Amino acid sequence: MKLPVGERFFQETKYGRERKLPETRMVSVPRDVKEYENVPCVLLPKPKISGGAPIWDVVRNRRSVRSYSDRYLDLEELAQLLWATQGITGSIGGYPLRASPSAGALYPIETYLLVNRVNNISQGIYHFNVRKFRLELLKGGNFSYAFAEAALGQHMFVKCAVAFVWSAVIDRCRVKYGERAFRYIFMDVGHICQNLYLAATAMGLGCCAVGAFYDDEVNALIGLDGVAESVVYMATVGG
């Protein structure tokens, strides 16, 4: 009897002392960070990285929050959330390290934002440039209802101040780990999302992770091909 695809993947990507992993179908090595050229950019302010609520209180109080007020986030608050998830926190041998762990320090996850209500930023879809700590505008306008529909009708995309949309650049991880890379990609994005939960909780904001969405519809909204790079997770944030 043929195993279901999920179970088959799990079995075929196991490490074993006497077993060789399947060959990768990777064609080329992508850049370690993604940048959009010749688009409007928003430089982010320096994030606040000290003080705040004790970590034990934050862990205890963390919950998924799906209802939000109409409050706008400040640009400084958004910068703080972005830094907590993917910000560069140090380096080893000149190689930048980030706030969330990544298998092999390969960082295959890219961050996009649906901006609904953030002071000093127009509505639209943005890409977070980790290296230059800036936002790159991909599409201007109100896309909240389109995201809600793509997320199986979850109306919190309309009410949230901002939504984080995480994609995976597959070959950035597969270059080292072959097909097992898919395991690590989902671990990586889980680390990132938990950091967002904790940061939002510490800042008095609500956050809710979203795994239910029509993949190709969200990819189309961002402008991704869904093969070399595909959306894997989302989260809403609001006051």
Query: Percent helix, strand and coil across the chain, each rounded to 5?
Result: 35, 25, 40
Distance CA 87, CA 99 (A): 5
Residue 179 near residue 22, CB atoms below 8 Å? yes
HSE of 7, CA atoms in CB hemisphere, 13 A: 4
Percent of the residues in the chain that have a pLDDT greater than 70, as a whole number: 96
Residue 203 near residue 77, CB atoms below 8 Å? yes
pTM: 0.94
How sure is the predictor about 25, in pLDDT bands with cuts at 50, 70 and 90? Answer: low
Q: Provide the pLDDT for residue 94.
A: 84
Which of 26-30, 44-48, 61-65, 81-85 is predicted with the least confidence, judged by mean pLDDT?
26-30
Overall average pLDDT of the 177-200 stretch: 96
Element (H, E) at 217: helix 215-222
Q: Provide the pLDDT for residue 3.
A: 83
By C-alpha distance, which of 53, 78, 70, 89 is closest to 201?
53
Q: Provide the pLDDT for residue 237.
A: 98
Percent of the residues in the chain that have a pLDDT greater than 90, as a whole number: 84
Residue 138 near residue 115, CB atoms below 8 Å? no
CATH topology of domain 61-238: NADH Oxidase (3.40.109)
Q: Provide the pLDDT for residue 49.
A: 87
Q: What does the mean pLDDT of the chain come to?
A: 94
61-79 tens-digit pLDDT: 999 999 999 999 999 999 9
Element (H, E) at 196: helix 181-202
State how beta strands 229-238 and 206-210 pair. Answer: antiparallel
Overall average pLDDT of the 8-23 stretch: 79
Asked whether residue 235 carries a pLDDT value surpassing 60, the answer given is yes
Look up residue 101 and give its two tokens: 């762990």
Q: Provide the pLDDT for residue 32.
A: 86
HSE of 212, CA atoms in CB hemisphere, 13 A: 9
147-185 tens-digit pLDDT: 999 999 999 999 999 999 999 999 999 999 999 999 999
Residue 125 near residue 138, CB atoms below 8 Å? yes
Which of 79-83, 90-94, 233-237 is predicted with the least confidence, judged by mean pLDDT?
90-94
88-119 tens-digit pLDDT: 999 998 889 999 999 999 999 999 999 999 99
Q: Which residue has the higher pLDDT, 9 or 229?
A: 229
